[in-house]
Amino acid sequence: MDLIRHDCMPYPDSVAEQERLVADVLAGRRRGCLVLTEHPPVYTIGTSGSPEHVLTRIIGHQQIDVFHTGRGGEVTYHGPGQLVCYVIADLRDERDLHRHVWRLEEMIIRTLSDFGISAERDTRGIGVWVRGLKIAAVGVRCRRWVTYHGIALNIDPDMRHFEGIVTCGMSDRPVTSMAQQGVRVEREAVERRVLAHARTLFFSGASSLPQASMRKDSEELG
């Protein structure tokens, strides 16, 4: 497994990088990889999202950029204090995008468990939840069975920035972070656990994992 790490990368540049990585996998020039990064504050609108769900672009005295993206899902926020994990995975043999999403969720559930946070899936939607509050959002796209985009874990972002959107289509904004759950930890420590679980789930013996539930019938999930 290849690891690509950025301290912080503008969202459009990150999407362009992922496009190149997917093209390399499809051409046989690269195997799957994990990209770990943060983004400057940005609201992203997925293929199921509506610009009307961006309620304001100004939070405090800060203007937040808005970017339309090809990932599945609705409107979400990315910013400092949030670890974004993009998994470029070759599913051409397996052809099961729902299992891929299950792995993304499981990677974060296991990571949070390492820090004493009990997390789970929830019937309200895909992602990772802690007592009814979403702590990690998923948005995935698949091109010719090679995946990109991924999952964003709230470590300690500015939670006020979620007030500018209808988060993932949920007007009550049920979001939380590791810090709000009483766990203050550096990004590097979280990355080490994410990487360990990614290696297990995506790049060794992944085909033996349980069948994921079919929650959406699309090649774009979010």
DSSP-based three-state secondary structure for 222: coil
Q: Please give the average per-residue pLDDT across 138-163, as a whole number.
A: 96
In a domain, 140, yes or no: yes
Catalytic one among 33, 85, 142, 168? 168
Nearest to 73 by CA among 218, 177, 198: 218
> Model pTM greater than 0.85?
yes
In a domain, 193, yes or no: yes
In a domain, 220, yes or no: no
Q: For residue 204, what pLDDT is reported?
A: 67
How do residues 175-187 score in pLDDT, each as one tens digit? 999 999 999 999 9
Q: Please give the average per-residue pLDDT across 42-60, as a whole number.
A: 92
Determine the structural domain holding residue 190 and report its residue range: 2-206
In a domain, 213, yes or no: no
Percent of the chain past pLDDT 70, that is, above it, reads 91
| pLDDT score of 14 more than 80 | yes
| pLDDT score of 169 more than 90 | no
- The enclosing domain of 188 has a CATH number of 3.30.930.10
Chain-centroid distance of CA 171 in Å reads 20
Task: Count up the domains in the chain and report the number.
Answer: 1
In a domain, 60, yes or no: yes
Query: Do the beta carbons of residue 1 and residue 199 sit within 8 Å?
Result: yes
Q: For residue 153, what pLDDT is reported?
A: 98
Catalytic annotation present for 85: no
Strands 120-122 and 82-88, sheet pairing: unpaired
Q: Please give the average per-residue pLDDT across 93-99, as a whole number.
A: 95
In a domain, 83, yes or no: yes
In a domain, 221, yes or no: no
Query: Do the beta carbons of residue 168 and residue 137 sit within 8 Å?
Result: yes
